[in-house]
Amino acid sequence: MPKELVQIFKYWYATQLNVVRWSGVYSRPYGMECGVRQGGLTSPKLFNLYVNALIEELSSTHVGCHIDEICLNNISYADDMVLLSASACGLSKLLGICERYALSHGLVYNTKKSECMVFQARGRCLDNIPSVKLNGTPLRRVDKFKYLGHFVTSDLRDDTDIERERRALSVRANMIARRFARCSRDVKITLFRAFCTSFYTCSLWVFYSQKQYSALRVQYNNAFRVLLGLPRFCSASGMFAEARVDCFFTTMRKRCTSLIGRVRVSPNSILKALTDRYDCRYLNHCTMVHFLILWLRVSKSAICVHLK
């Protein structure tokens, strides 16, 4: 990098002042002694430069989980890092690397927000697991944790995350139904598409109970009925077809197709290793969802033709 650019960043971060606003009142100015500016355009690049050496060191150890001879022992997004290992010994080694890097680079890990989880192998839960320590503090062992808005559980089931999305959908649907009750039908349909069809991380759902999945579908249908003021027991397929809005199953199929398409063209070596495996559980699930819904639609059409 040019020395002039480095000097600009040094001057920028050494002289900038921050204030806190609370109820219209500003605090005394203070200097920022660590970290990057939140919301700054250069902040992601600067942070990546800061922690890239740690990610490289973790990946070069080849300690952790492997997929087709590709080591996968850390997943990082900004300041949220997940360490993966098939053994407690391997996990302790990865934590030791993080501790040494933090000590030499002025970082401090928050042991209260750091957690440890043991995934069940083929339905078996291991009890004799030694405690995992970070900076000498034993980490709290949990059965679920929320990573980037998605609930991950020790049994790898998605019921908890589906329930999270069902509750979030209920809140969003009630909000737009209350605030936009006097809007036109077209405006309400546009709001429904914008706020009620996203289903954050639904493309990752693979292992769940049909009861929980159906509860989300019912919530989706009821949200549309309430927003448009339709009868409670009116036909779901009919109301979506009349409004030209995707039904629940169509929305899910599009989400899965979109994710698979992006994963298949990704240059990431880990993602390519997953897509190249014919026994990948997620890809098989998406394929089954697509063909099952297609079969149901074809069967329903055949029955309708027969009745006519």
| Structure confidence by residue, pLDDT tens digits, 152-180 | 998 888 999 999 999 999 999 999 999 99
Could you read off the pLDDT of 119-164 as tens digits, one per residue? 877 666 666 778 888 888 888 888 888 888 899 998 888 999 999 9
pLDDT attached to residue 279: 64
Please identify, among 86, 107, 142, the residue that sits at the C-terminal boundary of a domain: 142
Choose the final residue of a domain: 142, 173, 203: 142
Q: Does 71 fall in a domain?
A: yes
CA dist., res. 163 & res. 77, Å (int): 24
Give yes or no: residues 187 and 259 share one domain: yes
CA distance 224 to 228: 6
Residue 275 structural domain: 159-299
Quick one: average pLDDT of 13-27?
A: 88
The structure's pTM equals 0.78
Contact 107, 53 (CB under 8 A): no
On whether residue 261 sits in a domain, the answer given is: yes
Sequence-separated (6 or more) residues with CB below 8 Å from residue 129: 88, 118, 141
Task: Give residue-wise pLDDT tens across range 204-255.
Answer: 888 889 999 999 999 999 999 999 988 888 888 889 999 999 999 889 888 8
Within this chain, do residues 193 and 218 fall inside the same structural domain, yes or no? yes
List the Cα angle 162/259/268 in 5-degree steps: 120
Query: 304 lies in a domain?
Result: no
